[in-house]
Amino acid sequence: MSEPEWLLRLKKMDEQAELGGGRERIEAQHKRGKLTARERLRRLLDPDTFQELDKFVTHRVTEFGMEKNTPLGDGVVTGFGKVNGRLVYVFSQDFTVFGGSLGEAFGKKVTKVMDLAMKAGAPIVGLNDSGGARIQEGVVSLAAYSEIFFRNTIASGVIPQISVILGPSAGGAVYSPALTDLVLMVKGTSNMFITGPDVVKAALGQVVEPQELGGAEIHASRSGVAHFVVDTEDEVFLMVRQLLAFFPQNNAEPAPRVKPRDEPGREDPSLREVLPTDINAAYDMREVVRRVVDDGAYLEVHAAWAPNITVGFARLDGYPVGIVGNQPEHLSGAIDIDSADKAARFVRMCDAFNIPIVTFVDVPGYMPGVDQEHGGIIRHGSKMLFAYCEATVPKVTLITRKAYGGAYCAMGSKYSRADLNYAWPTAEIAVMGPEGAVNIIFTKELQRSQDGAQERARLIGEYREKFANPYVAASRGIIDAVIDPAVTRPTLIAALASLRDKTEFRPSKKHGNIPL
């Protein structure tokens, strides 16, 4: 029996929509090493879960010959599906249609799924591959972008928003991703810039390649715009799936637990040997983190940017946690402008989505220097204080070694309202390190002394004995417990379990005024 006319028509339209900008452009997309908008969604979502919306939407532009070219879908594939069995809204820009550029109809499709995601309380993932504002649509296109920016802002902290950059992301196309929680890029094929190489050349006479100007590695290591950079598109979708598993569907839900394989009571005596014998020698804080968390699995965020602090996701007894740790391997773990921005943003993201924060402290202080002072270390450094102080999720802090000065206050101290503060016996909590302290408070004595070096060593020893240990802090309840490093994991798990139903109030206000 032949198929009825109406079914044939629907099938034909479906087929047409699925071809986007046509076979040639799809081939060109593949030749560039990129997948099509639909192929990408198939990799991101659980099999057979995608429900497409607005497949037959077209633009209404009647100038520049556009009226003769009205591709179904208008350059973006939108809808909802599932990731790990949980609902997620998606849009996937189709570079084969007007270079994925955004006009009125395109914009309305995107804002529709953003609105639905907000109503349903589910995450939204945007797959970006776009030449920016659709030139033929002029101001209408700018308005469409602005509608998206508004929704990104209102949804911020309510539903998780993840942006994947899979090709050019030029002009207006960069700001929506920048407003979302996490940005992922693919090496070699993706780039982000406000003004591309041609404009840079015309305006400033500088010649720069697209990848050099705004490629994945630049944004992952220099600008901090990208949180993750991976080698292939296949990897990027696996990464998004992994990331979503740490987040609740929205800010009213707890972060989702997975059944743990790792023993909650597992002790690790090797942690007793993890610190170098030289107090100033470097070690990798991520190694400490991995020995403590479930299955040694630590998903580092912003790994290549501001590496003097490490932030990322892990699980303790199956519950997601956000980790913030000083990294003695880089700049001795001192906090500078970029690392303060990085940590503050991560703490706020965890707080917004009910992910407890575990802080590992080994910090010699804020970074000194003319560049840092003139660059605004005061303004940037204060973001960390602000972020920790305003966060009301469970906050547990462990000091492994140094916790000096203002950096002690910033790194989840009792006074930025960490709920429980632990220290290893090797912790040193003081206004500054023994050498600097002795230089300042014993200047005259050292000048008068016959044998300066010996006297200096004696005073340093005395200072270290008195202040550079965790017991002064423990005697005042500033540290809640000094623990054997071997029991770090069971201690942190017990601490977080005790805080699971924690409530902490802040005065109601329109919003704070974080120093930006």
Q: Which is nearer to ligand HXC, 81 or 103 (CB)?
A: 103
135 binds ligand HXC (CB under 6 A): yes
Measured distance CA(79)–CA(91) in Å, rounded: 7
Q: Which of 83, 105, 127, 133 binds ligand HXC (CB under 6 A)?
A: 133
Measured distance CA(90)–CA(494) in Å, rounded: 38
Active site residues per annotation? 171-172, 406-407
Site string for ligand HXC, 424-463 (x = CB under 6 A): ----------------------------------------
CA–CA distances in Å: residue 273 to residues 106, 160, 426: 58, 39, 11
Q: Which of 71, 107, 126, 131 binds ligand HXC (CB under 6 A)?
A: 131
Q: Which of 98, 247, 388, 467 binds ligand HXC (CB under 6 A)?
A: 98
Cα dihedral sign for 45, 46, 48, 52?
negative
Q: How far is CA 221 from the centre of its chain?
A: 13
| Stretch touching ligand HXC by CB under 6 A, among 128-136, 217-225, 447-455, 469-477 | 128-136
Torsion angle, alpha carbons of 68, 71, 75, 81, to 10: 160
126 binds ligand HXC (CB under 6 A): no
Smallest separation, CB 226 to ligand HXC (Å)? 18
Residue 201, helix vs strand vs coil:
helix
Question: DSSP assignment, residue 256?
Answer: P
Q: Which of 170, 226, 240, 430 binds ligand HXC (CB under 6 A)?
A: 170
Q: Which is nearer to ligand HXC, 169 or 416 (CB)?
A: 169
196 binds ligand HXC (CB under 6 A): yes
CA–CA distances in Å: residue 117 to residues 54, 78, 124, 159, 420: 15, 12, 6, 8, 36
Smallest separation, CB 167 to ligand HXC (Å)? 8
Binding footprint of ligand HXC, residue count (CB under 6 A) = 16
Q: Which is nearer to ligand HXC, 129 or 428 (CB)?
A: 129
Q: How far is CA 326 from the centre of its chain?
A: 16
Q: Which of 171, 214, 364, 405 binds ligand HXC (CB under 6 A)?
A: 171
Q: Which of 145, 388, 408, 463 binds ligand HXC (CB under 6 A)?
A: 145
Smallest separation, CB 39 to ligand HXC (Å)? 18
Q: Which of 109, 134, 302, 330 binds ligand HXC (CB under 6 A)?
A: 134
Burial class (CB in 10 A: 0-12, 13-18, 19+), 47: exposed
132 binds ligand HXC (CB under 6 A): yes
Torsion angle, alpha carbons of 140, 142, 148, 154, to 10: -110
* Pairing label, strands 357-363, 319-326: parallel
Q: Which is nearer to ligand HXC, 79 or 99 (CB)?
A: 99
CA–CA distances in Å: residue 386 to residues 67, 201, 263, 289, 497: 53, 40, 35, 24, 25
- Binding residues for ligand HXC, rule: CB under 6 A, are 98-99, 101, 131-135, 142, 145-146, 168, 170-172, 196
